[in-house]
Structure formats: structure tokens, C-alpha cells
């Protein structure tokens, strides 16, 4: 019984982290219409920014978090402005986008490694050192905060998209870029703001992972892969689908390794991905 509770807790926490990555990824995929494989590295940008401000400069941890989120957002925004906006103007093929995104990822990872070494790092302080018991499972304070933040982001995003004019414009751009232009929406401006928002969310996810387990320059790639798998399971481009896929993936991974070694986690995720690609490529929630 206890082990099941613990597995549930672990699954939910994994789902919460994945859902943040997936939300940002889907948002960008929806508006800019390409698979941004470079997106994951922004988690590392957020994480290392906090590491830099809190450990190397000795700033207050909460201030460091705010700065980390903003810097991740800003870097995402700049990448879009400097790189992807040009590709759009040139009507680049999806292959060009793919290679470029991989280039961006490699570049940022390399810069982080040069500045901070590729060693695993931890933050100097934590935001909540308590642990709590839930139904016999143990959840750390950081994990609890992660869960709460991911839920807040999810609802915040849904409200933003549903009720604000910005949200309507984002939906319009996701639906049809050409029509959006003709009705007067500055699509480049919307897309760059979406990049800021999505990247800031990735940064925050990276920071939370940092508090939970620590950071390394390549942390983004596995998070991105999980985000992509969750998006595909849930239905690519669909916000609710992405969240559903994230939690489902969290559960499948953690219950999958119940009786076997934890090394199997990634193999299980990819097996699930392949099953979905073969039998339900449109995902759970995507309407055809």
C-alpha cells in the first residue's frame, strides 16, 4: 500500500514537471507551427540563471528565481526574433527549422557548459525543506510547490487564452497565420510574445527541477523529449491534451518501473510514444 502511495506521488510530481514543459512547447508549436527541439534547453537557462544569481552572486533566492524566469523568457524571445522570424520570412522548410533548432540547443548548451562546467550542480538554499505525508507517501516541500505552481500555470494559461484578447489573437494565429494577418493581427509580434511566455515557463520548470534534484547543462533534452511524448500522447497543439498526456506519462513511467529497475523509465516512455504513433497518432484529445 505504502509503495503504491509513493508511486502515485512520484507520478504526479513527474506529471507536473512534464506538464509545464508540454504547455510551453505546445504553445510555441501552435503559433510558430514547428517542432521547437531547442525549447528544452531553456529549462537549463532558467536553472543556471538561478544558480548564478544565488550561488555566485549571493542574491536572495526568490529574487534569483524571478530573474531566472525572466532571463529564460528573454532568451526565448531573442532566439525567435533573431532566428525564427527570419526563417519564417524566407518560408524555410520544416527540415531547416529542425536543424536550426538543434543548432540553437547545442549552442546554448555549450555556452552553459563553458560558463559553468558540465558538472552537476545544486542550488545553495532550498525554498522549502519540509517533507509531508500524503496517504502514506512522502512528498518534499519542493515537490509540493512544484505541483502547486504547475497547476497555477495551467489555469493561468487557460484563463489567458480563453478570456483575453491576447488569447484570442494567439488562437487566431494558431488557427491560420494568413487570415490572422489579413484581419490585422501582427502575427510576428504575437509569436514573439508566445516565445517569451513559453520560454519563461520552461525556465521555471528548470528551476523547480533544480530545487528538486539539481541542474546540468543537458537537463533540457530529456525534459523536452518527455514534453514531446506527452504532447503526442495527449494530442499535439491541444493544451488540455498536453496536460493529460503529461500526467499519464508520469504514471506510466513510475508504475512501469514498479517491479523493475529505474533505468527502464526512458525505454518505457519511448515504447509508449511508439505505440501512440502507430495506433493513435492524433493523440487522445485531438479531434480529427
Partner 1 sequence: MEILKTKGIAKHFDGVHAVDSLSIGFEKGKITGLIGPNGSGKSTLINLLTGVIKIDGGLVVVGNNEEIKRLLPHEIADYGITRTFQDVHLFEQMRVLDNVLVVLTKRNVFASLFETHKKFHLARAEEVLIKVGLWEKRNELAKNLSYGQRKLLEIGRVLAMQNGFGDDSDIFFFDEPFAGLFPEMRKIVISVIQDLKQKGKTVILVEHNMDIIRELCDHLIVLDSGKLLAEGLPQHVLSQKSVLEAYLGE
Which residues of this chain interact with partner 1, rule CB under 8 A?
A: 163-166, 168-169, 171-172, 174-176, 178-187, 189-190, 193
Distance, CA of 251 to CA of 13 (rounded, Å): 10
Q: Which three cell numbers stand for residue 83?
A: 532566428
Distance, CA of 203 to CA of 195 (rounded, Å): 12
Q: Which is nearer to partner 1, 206 or 235 (CB)?
A: 235
Q: Which is nearer to partner 1, 58 or 184 (CB)?
A: 184
Residue for grid cell 513510475: 254
Residue 6 CB, nearest approach to partner 1 (Å): 41
Q: Which three cell numbers stand for residue 206?
A: 528548470
Q: Which is nearer to partner 1, 165 or 259 (CB)?
A: 165
Q: Which is nearer to partner 1, 107 or 179 (CB)?
A: 179
Distance, CA of 188 to CA of 194 (rounded, Å): 10
Q: Is the dihedral of CA 229, 235, 240, 244 positive or negative?
A: negative
Which of left, alpha, beta for 91 (phi over 0: left; psi -120 to 50: alpha)? left
Residue 180 CB, nearest approach to partner 1 (Å): 8
Residue 211 CB, nearest approach to partner 1 (Å): 29
Which of left, alpha, beta for 121 (phi over 0: left; psi -120 to 50: alpha)? beta
Q: Which is nearer to partner 1, 21 or 194 (CB)?
A: 194
Distance, CA of 255 to CA of 232 (rounded, Å): 20
Q: Which three cell numbers stand for residue 93?
A: 522548410
Residue 77 CB, nearest approach to partner 1 (Å): 13
Residue 30 CB, nearest approach to partner 1 (Å): 10
Amino acid at each position: 500500500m505504502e509503495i503504491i502511495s509513493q508511486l502515485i506521488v512520484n507520478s504526479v510530481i513527474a506529471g507536473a514537471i512534464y506538464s509545464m514543459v508540454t504547455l510551453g512547447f505546445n504553445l510555441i508549436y501552435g503559433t510558430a507551427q514547428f517542432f521547437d527541439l531547442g525549447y528544452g534547453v531553456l529549462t537549463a537557462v532558467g536553472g543556471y540563471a538561478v544558480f548564478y544569481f544565488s550561488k555566485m552572486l549571493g542574491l536572495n533566492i526568490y529574487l534569483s528565481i524571478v530573474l531566472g524566469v525572466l532571463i529564460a523568457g528573454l532568451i526565448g524571445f531573442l532566439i525567435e526574433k533573431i532566428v525564427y522570424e527570419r526563417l519564417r520570412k524566407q518560408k524555410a522548410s520544416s527540415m531547416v527549422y529542425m536543424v536550426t533548432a538543434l543548432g540553437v540547443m547545442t549552442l546554448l548548451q555549450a555556452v552553459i557548459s563553458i560558463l559553468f562546467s558540465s558538472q552537476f550542480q545544486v542550488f545553495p538554499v532550498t525554498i522549502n525543506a519540509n517533507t509531508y505525508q500524503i496517504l502514506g507517501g512522502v512528498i518534499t516541500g519542493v515537490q509540493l510547490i512544484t505541483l502547486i505552481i504547475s497547476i497555477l500555470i495551467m489555469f493561468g494559461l487557460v484563463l489567458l487564452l480563453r478570456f483575453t484578447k491576447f488569447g484570442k489573437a494567439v488562437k487566431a494565429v494558431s488557427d491560420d497565420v494568413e487570415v490572422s494577418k489579413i484581419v490585422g493581427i501582427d502575427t510576428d509580434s504575437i509569436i514573439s510574445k508566445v516565445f517569451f511566455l513559453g520560454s519563461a515557463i520552461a525556465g521555471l520548470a528548470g528551476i523547480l527541477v533544480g530545487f528538486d534534484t539539481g541542474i546540468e547543462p543537458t537537463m533540457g533534452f530529456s525534459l523536452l523529449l518527455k514534453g514531446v511524448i506527452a504532447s503526442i500522447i495527449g494530442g499535439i497543439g491541444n493544451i488540455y491534451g498536453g496536460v493529460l498526456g503529461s500526467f499519464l506519462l508520469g504514471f506510466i513511467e513510475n508504475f512501469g518501473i514498479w517491479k523493475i529497475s529505474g533505468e527502464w523509465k526512458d525505454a518505457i516512455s519511448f515504447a509508449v510514444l511508439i505505440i501512440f504513433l502507430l495506433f493513435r497518432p492524433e493523440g487522445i484529445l485531438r479531434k480529427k
